[in-house]
Amino acid sequence: MLFMVIEHFHAGRAPDVYRRFRDRGRLAPPGVQYIASWVDLDFGRCFQVMEAGDEAALRAWTAEWDDLIDFEIVPVRTSAEAVAAIEPSL
């Protein structure tokens, strides 16, 4: 499954987030795959697409970052998958 993970960095903690990432990596457990990410211009949020079997697998990853980041996890589908799912209703 694909998930849009919206990371809300705790106020003033973006340097700590990047320092941990530099020193320890993403800290994702097996089965959790990074796809792509974008960071807002104020270093307040990161929008990340991740792949995992379920949300519980993602929670094992986010637990490594809970002291620095609040997470919003949204299951998503690709545009092609959306078209295929909605096509019968058109």
Q: What is the pLDDT of residue 24?
A: 98
Our count of domains for the chain comes to: 1
**pTM strictly above 0.85:** yes
pLDDT at 20 (0 to 100): 98
* Six token digits for residue 25: 């990596």
Range of the domain at 29: 2-89
Phi/psi for 88 (5° steps) reads -60, -20
**Interval 12-51: pLDDT, tens:** 999 999 999 999 999 999 999 999 999 999 999 999 999 9
Q: What is the mean pLDDT of residues 61-80?
A: 97
CATH at 85: 3.30.70
